[in-house]
Structure 1
């Protein structure tokens, strides 16, 4: 079954990557490319509709078309609201959402099929399963720290992936991440508290994404690193999610663990 796609932010880096990969796979058909007016001139849609209005795309595209949105929090939230009003499915990969925005997504997902993930790579989502087991096996004598590297144009810090990884680590210790996260150390700060997870952000160049988790205990250290070599890994995950979302029922906010 072919999955029609409406790609939001089609002129952006992720939008272009998703469109390129979808164009090479017969499983997908690009129904519409959507972006801001000033960005449309560089888009080549072929048979696809090119527009600056998601509503126009929804009005003219098949009812089973799935929206893919890797844009910015405010834009993605508006995409979700528009999808909920029309009943279309949407896959959102935008990071930097607030707790209130995530709560609104969960509420909108009761009205239309919605999917959100801070990271759509297979490797990262396997880590969400493996890291809690490793944390529990090592025990509380091991301090947990994380360093994440991204390109110099990334706007949110720490990354959405780092926060999601931090949440699964904290939960394995019986903690809530907001209570134990430390993302800045400066000056005479004293000894490191046991109930703490450090998450530090580095920005520079064109780094796609690197996350390293450190488990530091008596006499040894374990490092677990995930490196994204290109944006293709996230785009492939988004396409896989879109195909999986086609025909899904509303009711709850879906994520990559559901796809796997």
Structure 2
């Protein structure tokens, strides 16, 4: 993702002033090959990067979110956040930062997934939990460490929002062994891993008489990077607030 973001940013005509990394010396060698530029500052923390940036695109680890929120809020720098798996306290840190700076937060920055989330919400509203069981199936490359994916959880959140419930109240536990019959109103998840699949998500609404399927497949990780750069270009000059890709695409 880091390499994809760098390429997408440069191709969009934006100026890459810096980035964070654990090993600046090793990263410098890679950057030289990717950018053929010598003006990129490699930082070991977000505070340093924020001082030289107008907008920061953040696809790092969830453990860094709270620190990044404080650093970017303090510097008054807009934040594009693609990190997923946030706890309630980490999300509160993001919400707090959005009181001071413009934040675009998304589990997935592709236009297709953004539309899928919108449709998932509308379908959840139209298809009652009493008649239609909602299940989400996702598949990713074998190296992915979290499950379900952040995008799958976002789809579940959209369905739950459409049904005016909290996902935490209706999310089905992992099914294995003698787990009992499916409960009415549950939203279930299945996570598959294998090969080098970029990302596949499928939402199924199934009743006793019919099934409706909504799906998305990503063929290249650049789709996420391109969307994040689009969000970065859009967010400049925006007032403080928490925005989504629906805002970026003019759908909200």
Q: TM-score, with normalisation over the residues of structure 1?
A: 0.86
Aligned ranges 1:61-80 → 2 under 5 Å: 61=52, 65-80=54-69
8 A Cα contact 1:31 1:49, kept in partner? yes
What residue in structure 2 maps to residue 50 of structure 1? 41
What residue in structure 1 maps to residue 238 of structure 2? 248
Residue of 115, 127, 132 corresponding to 1:126: 115
Deviations 1:7-53 (A, max 9, x none): xxxxxxx1110111222222x11111321126424222514323133
Q: Does 1:143 align with 2:136?
A: no
What residue in structure 2 maps to residue 37 of structure 1? 23
Task: Name the CA distance, whole Å, in 1 between partners of 2:164 and 2:12.
Answer: 43
8 A Cα contact 2:124 2:160, kept in partner? no
Task: Name the CA distance, whole Å, in 1 between partners of 2:41 and 2:31.
Answer: 8
Query: How far is the alpha carbon of 1:58 from its aligned partner?
Result: 3.5
Query: How far is the alpha carbon of 1:183 from its aligned partner?
Result: 4.2
Q: Gapped runs of 5+ residues in structure 1?
A: 1-13
CA shift in 2, pair 1:58/1:185, >3 Å: closer
Structure 1 counterpart SS, 2:49: helix
Structure 2 counterpart SS, 1:107: helix
Query: How far is the alpha carbon of 1:174 from its aligned partner?
Result: 2.8
Aligned residues: 242
8 A Cα contact 1:91 1:241, kept in partner? yes
What residue in structure 1 maps to residue 4 of structure 2? 17
Task: Name the CA distance, whole Å, in 1 between partners of 2:181 and 2:173.
Answer: 16
Task: Name the CA distance, whole Å, in 2 between partners of 1:233 and 1:155.
Answer: 20
